[in-house]
Structure 1
């Protein structure tokens, strides 16, 4: 596994903050886990790096048409499954050979491991919601190790 990194962002709801644009520069891939809000976000992210995105429950109109409900990709030998809301998980992760699941929806940044699968929610990156922090995540592929770092900003 070479030293690579993925920027993980979710729940922008039409707001791409300049602090997060700076954090995402230099990543090898950006994953957006839904509730993008509008196509301008997708266009801006594509200027930084290749983007893989799924639609969220708030993505309407053309975004609902162009973004898939879920996505599975391979990156650095790891199978990554992306879906907006973990409660709508539509596959058997073990049978599919999934190593990492990326979700959004809750606006709560967290990571956890269950049954040898790493689950990552980058938190909400867009407008402030309740008293929740505003965040994204960077997933580092270093040697044979995965590291996740959450990046927070104050609103």
Structure 2
């Protein structure tokens, strides 16, 4: 059976019942930073398993609970989540060397508030940025990504959009 993932980022302290309902449908929720308050992650943990990283706006409480980088295996897919990661061919200087030495199959970042899914042919990895699901920032539409991991396959990728 495939692992159902809900991927979000840049909540900036915002969570509502619509988002929680999507969390309830997921086996795991992954948050790519700028959480904004522990109430967001506490609420998610009530309904699903959570993996998260802290972002540049997150305080000491969030930073003490979540790492800067989260590297793990989901099924047979290597995953690396960080908040400020850049994009294929323009990765952040902090991670560029490590990423090229040992690329995961799935690299996830947030920060930009711009939803983007792009395959990196050089490193043979899939990059995902779910955009932003909070109310803070310049984005006009709140976005999240939903997908499944089945053994080594990343499939059924879906964009979830909500009005601000």
Decide: shared fold, TM above 0.5.
Answer: yes
Counterparts in 2 of 1:83 and 1:143: CA distance versus 1, 3 Å = closer
Runs in 1 of length 4+ with deviation above 6 angstroms? none
Q: Measure the CA separation in 2 of the matches of 1:10 and 1:77.
A: 23
Q: Is the 2:36–2:57 contact (alpha carbons within 8 Å) kept by the matching residues of 1? A: yes
Q: Measure the CA separation in 1 of the matches of 2:139 and 2:131.
A: 12
Counterparts in 2 of 1:131 and 1:66: CA distance versus 1, 3 Å = closer
Partner of 1:138: 146
Q: Measure the CA separation in 2 of the matches of 1:120 and 1:48.
A: 24
* TM-score (norm: length of structure 1): 0.90
Aligned CA RMSD, in angstroms, stands at 1.8
Unaligned runs of 5+ in 2: 86-91
- 108, 113, 116: which one pairs with 2:114? 108
Partner of 2:88: none
Partner of 1:30: 29
Question: Following TM superposition, by how much is the alpha carbon of 1:17 offset from its aligned partner in structure 2, in angstroms?
Answer: 2.6
Unaligned runs of 5+ in 1: none
Q: Measure the CA separation in 2 of the matches of 1:121 and 1:88.
A: 18
Paired residue secondary structure (1:48): coil
Partner of 1:45: 44
Whether 2:77 is the aligned partner of 1:68: answer no
Higher strand share goes to which structure? 2
Partner of 1:152: 161
Counterparts in 2 of 1:119 and 1:30: CA distance versus 1, 3 Å = same
Question: Following TM superposition, by how much is the alpha carbon of 1:89 offset from its aligned partner in structure 2, in angstroms?
Answer: 4.6
* TM-score (norm: length of structure 2): 0.86
Question: Following TM superposition, by how much is the alpha carbon of 1:127 offset from its aligned partner in structure 2, in angstroms?
Answer: 0.7
Question: Following TM superposition, by how much is the alpha carbon of 1:92 offset from its aligned partner in structure 2, in angstroms?
Answer: 2.4
